[in-house]
């Protein structure tokens, strides 16, 4: 099953963000450190145009540190400023105003040269659902901001949230949609739990989880599930991947009558253990 991607969502999201651009000095784009490609909308740079941008690799606590280092180097090579954060504990958050200041250095210097007293820097947080926008806003504000959302019928002015370090945030983040035209994008997001299982088939999600984990973390995978020698899996061969999923099911006692493996149960078990961190930190896309 493929996920429907509604161009109308994107048009609306785009307009909402474009309306806010004139209010801000800088955009803070949140992406999931485990999925730096799938968790960003490829149109974002087009939408933000020449607005300075800080990329935050959020949920860095859940990502493979070695992969995060590679991604940071990759973004740097591309001329972007990127910074790893764990918004839930606040690790990396206090450096954000400093990073923004560096991005706006020339603008701030020009203002000072003209004898102006620079007003607080203003930022908009943008990102796809579930990437941690509200968590980051709350951490930066040092308190819980009521989720405002863009509810119909509720008109209110823009609220600026003060954070430390001369930086203010718009209280409503810009929401983008992932690019679902590539169906693996949806599955990668679903493996991390960013897309609910009601939309995608759980066995398909687990299938992709096995595929990605075998490619980059096969040793850890076999250790966790006590599969001494993984079936000689070729991550491009669907039968091999299903054979591994069955081996997981057998190890976890997910069986149905006749001794066959209950694939749905095996899939849920695998995804549950992965999301509970039992397989350690992981990144599903490499630069």
Q: Is 131 or 169 the residue whose CB approaches ligand G4P more closely?
A: 131
Q: Which is nearer to ligand G4P, 83 or 133 (CB)?
A: 133
Length of the chain: 287
Bridge partner list, 256 = 260
Least distance from C-beta 253 to ligand G4P, angstroms?
28
- Give how many residues touch ligand G4P by CB under 6 A: 15
Nearer to ligand G4P, 65 or 129 (CB): 129
Closer to ligand G4P by CB, 131 or 200: give it. Answer: 131
Nearer to ligand G4P, 59 or 211 (CB): 59
Q: How far is the CB of 261 from ligand G4P (least distance, A)?
A: 29
Report if residue 62 touches ligand G4P, rule: CB under 6 A. Answer: yes
For residue 127, the minimal CB distance to ligand G4P (Å) is: 6
Please name the residues in contact with 77: beta carbons below 8 A apart, sequence gap of 6 or more: none
Shortest Cβ 107–ligand G4P spacing (Å): 28
Site string for ligand G4P, 132-161 (x = CB under 6 A): xxxx--------------------------
CA atoms of 92 and 106, how far apart (whole Å): 24
Binding flag, residue 36, ligand G4P (CB under 6 A): no
Using CB under 6 A, which residues numbered 76 to 135 contact ligand G4P?
86-88, 127, 129-135
Q: How far is the CB of 276 from ligand G4P (least distance, A)?
A: 11
Chain CA centroid to CA 163, Å: 23
Interface pick for ligand G4P out of 38, 39, 41, 58 (rule CB under 6 A): 58
Nearer to ligand G4P, 99 or 135 (CB): 135
Radius of gyration for the alpha carbons in the chain, expressed in angstroms and rounded = 21
Q: Rule CB under 6 A: which of 185-224 touch ligand G4P?
A: none
Q: Assign 3-class secondary structure to the chain.
A: CCCCCCHHHHHHHHHHHHHHHCCCCEEEEEEECCCCCCCCCCCHHHHHCCCCEEEEEECHHHCCHHHHHHHHHHHHHCCCEEEECECCCCECCCCHHHHHHHHCHHHHHHHHHCCCCCCCEEEEEEECCCCCHHHHHHHHHCCCCCCCCCCCCCCCCCCEEEECCCEEEECCCEECCCCCCCHHHHHHHHHHCCCCCCCCCHHHHHHHHHHHHHHHHHHHHHHHCCCCCCCCCCCCCHHHHHHHHHHHHHHCCCEEHHHEECHHHHHHHHHHHHHCCCCCCCCCCCC
Those residues with Cβ within 8 angstroms of residue 280's Cβ, 6 or more apart along the chain or in another chain = 217, 220
Q: Which is nearer to ligand G4P, 86 or 240 (CB)?
A: 86
- Which range, of 55-63, 100-108, 153-161, 238-246, touches ligand G4P by CB under 6 A? 55-63
Q: Which is nearer to ligand G4P, 128 or 248 (CB)?
A: 128
Least distance in Å: CB of 196 to ligand G4P? 11
- Smallest gap from Cβ 240 to ligand G4P, in A, equals 31
Which residues of this protein are in contact with ligand G4P, per CB under 6 A?
A: 58-59, 61-62, 86-88, 127, 129-135
């Amino acid at each position: 099953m493929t996920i429907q991607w509604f161009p109308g969502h994107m048009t609306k999201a785009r307009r909402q963000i474009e309306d806010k651009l004139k209010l801000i000095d800088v955009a803070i784009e949140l992406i999931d450190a485990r999925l730096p490609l799938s968790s960003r909308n490829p149109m974002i740079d087009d939408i933000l145009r020449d607005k300075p941008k800080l990329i935050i690799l959020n949920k860095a606590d859940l990502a493979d540190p070695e992969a995060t280092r590679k991604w940071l180097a990759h973004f740097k090579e591309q001329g972007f400023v990127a910074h790893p954060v764990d918004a839930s504990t606040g690790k990396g958050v206090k450096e954000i105003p400093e990073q923004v200041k560096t991005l706006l250095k020339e603008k701030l210097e020009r203002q000072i040269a003209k004898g102006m007293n620079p007003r607080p820097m203003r930022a908009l947080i943008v990102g796809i659902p579930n990437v941690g926008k509200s968590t980051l806003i709350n951490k930066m504000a040092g308190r819980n901001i009521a989720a405002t959302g863009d509810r119909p019928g509720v008109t209110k002015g823009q609220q600026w949230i003060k954070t430390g370090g001369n930086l203010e945030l718009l209280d409503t983040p810009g929401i983008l949609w992932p690019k679902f035209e590539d169906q693996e994008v949806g599955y990668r997001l679903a493996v991390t739990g960013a897309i609910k299982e009601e939309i995608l088939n759980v066995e398909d999600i687990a299938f992709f989880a096995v595929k990605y984990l075998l490619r980059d973390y096969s040793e850890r995978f076999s250790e966790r599930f006590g599969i001494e020698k993984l079936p000689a899996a070729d991550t491009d061969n669907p039968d091999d991947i299903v054979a591994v999923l069955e081996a997981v099911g057998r190890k976890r006692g997910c069986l149905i009558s006749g001794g066959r493996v209950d694939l749905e149960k095996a899939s849920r078990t695998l995804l549950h253990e992965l999301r509970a961190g039992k397989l350690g930190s992981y990144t599903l896309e490499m630069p």
